[in-house]
Structure 1
């Protein structure tokens, strides 16, 4: 492994911090119903697997980045994580575990659809960036 593959100390700290934040987010997500968040229904339990999976993938990719952080690989792994972000958003949208008034239901649904579209576009952008960066690193 070349020295170009190893991230700087600051980047490693950032990846470690991201891992800790994602663990905190898993804890929070898994306790929202216990804490009786007023607008969440018990159907939230049906979304939790996808939400936890998305956070776990982020933890996994950030752990890998601590040891290997080439630009093309970073973009590729971000695209991989985006797939799971899309999945968790899609499951949340389909289950819709929110107890809110009808006007808000309409706007939240629109927001979730927009988020799904933007996430799909982000995936395409990240894949294209990974390919471009890989080609650039191979020609250098």
Structure 2
């Protein structure tokens, strides 16, 4: 039986990606909470305060797991971290859907709802994939 070859990008490539992810999350968090702040975005309503906690939690979780990945990134840990971040992001998407803190005008509202729905179903699919990878890695580790 042929053994499946599992390929991952090089450690240097993965680390570069993690550094960019940390920087993106840190800059986004700073931009939303400090300068210029979410209040400067013309299409966000005051209801944005109701979703800010979950949006911030998603960015903080992404920042934290990518810092951990810089130190060590075995497949199982990467799957667990990605599952966690996607789960927090899913809660944020649900909350944004419920509150819908946008003032776009009629032609853009359905498109924004579609984008949120795509994010919702994409997050669920990603969580299923990461859960399968996590379980497969665990069973592979037990066989060794």
Q: TM-score, normalised by structure 1?
A: 0.84
2:59 is the alignment partner of 1:55:
yes
Partner of 1:68: 72
SS of the counterpart of 2:101?
Answer: coil
Q: What is the rounded CA distance, in whole Å, between the counterparts of 1:123 and 1:138 in structure 2?
A: 23
Distance 1:9 1:113, change over 3 A: closer
Alignment coverage as a number of residue pairs: 132
Q: Which structure has more RCO (C-alpha within 8 Å, separation ≥ 6)?
A: 1
Q: TM-score, normalised by structure 2?
A: 0.82
- Higher mean displacement: 67-76 or 54-63: 67-76
2:99 is the alignment partner of 1:131:
no
2:106 is the alignment partner of 1:108:
no
Deviation at 1:103, TM superposition (A): 2.9
Query: Which structure 2 residue ranges, 5 or more long, are not aligned?
Result: 1-9
Query: Which structure 1 residue ranges, 5 or more long, are not aligned?
Result: 1-6
Name the Cα RMSD after superposition: 1.8
SS of the counterpart of 1:82?
Answer: helix
